[in-house]
Amino acid sequence: MGFWDDVDRHLVRYSAAGRFTPEVIVRAEGSYVFTESGRRILDFTSGQMSAILGHSHPDIVATVRRQVGELDHLFSGMLSPPVVELARRLAGSLPAPLAKVLLLTTGAESNEAAIRMAKLVTGKHEIVSFARSWHGMTQAAAAATYSSGRKGYGPTSPGNFAIPVPTRFVTDWRQQLDLAFELIDAQSVGSLAACIVEPILSSGGVIDLPEGYLVALSAKCREREMLLIVDEAQTGLCRTGAWYAFERDGVVPDILTLSKTLGAGLPLAAMVTSAEIEQRAHERGYLFFTTHVSDPLVAAVGNTVLDVLERHKLDLRAAESGAFLRDGLLALASRYDVITDVRGRGLLVGLELASDEVGAAVTKRCLSLGLHMNVVQLPGMGGVFRIAPPLTATRDELTEGLEILGQALAEV
Contact partners, residue 200, CB within 8 Å, separation at least 6: 206, 207, 208, 209, 234, 235, 240, 245, 344, 345, 348
Q: Which of 100, 124, 345, 386 is catalytic?
A: 386
Contacting residues for 186 by C-beta, under 8 A, at least 6 apart: none
Can you state the angle between helices 395-411 and 356-369, rounded to 10 degrees? 130
SS (H, E, C) 70-91: HCCCCCCCCCCHHHHHHHHHHH
3-state helix, strand, coil in the chain (%, to 5): 40, 20, 40
Cα 89 to the chain's mean position, in Å?
A: 21
Side chain identity at 268, as an amino acid letter? L
Residue 234 CB coordination number (10 Å) = 30
| 234 is known as an active-site residue | yes
Taking the C-alpha atoms of residue 356 and residue 379, their distance in angstroms, rounded to an integer, is: 9
Residue 260 catalytic?
A: yes
Going by C-alpha positions, the residue among 196, 218, 199, 197 that lies closest to residue 208 is 199
The active-site residue out of 234, 295, 343, 352 is 234
Catalytic, 386? Answer yes
Other CB atoms within 10 A of residue 288 CB: 18
Running DSSP on this structure, what letter comes out for residue 249? G
* Terminal Cα-to-Cα distance of the chain (whole angstroms): 35
CA 222, chain centre distance (Å)? 25
Exactly one of 260, 317, 343, 365 is catalytic; which is it?
Answer: 260
Catalytic residue among 43, 109, 231, 278: 231
Catalytic member of 109, 126, 198, 352: 198
Catalytic residue from among 134, 239, 317, 326: 134
Q: Is 198 a catalytic residue?
A: yes
Given the DSSP bridges, would you call strands 207-208 and 192-197 parallel, antiparallel or unpaired?
unpaired
Q: How far apart are CA 394 and CA 90, in angstroms?
A: 27
Residue 383's beta-bridge partner residues? Answer: 353, 377
Active site residues: 134, 198, 231, 234, 260, 386
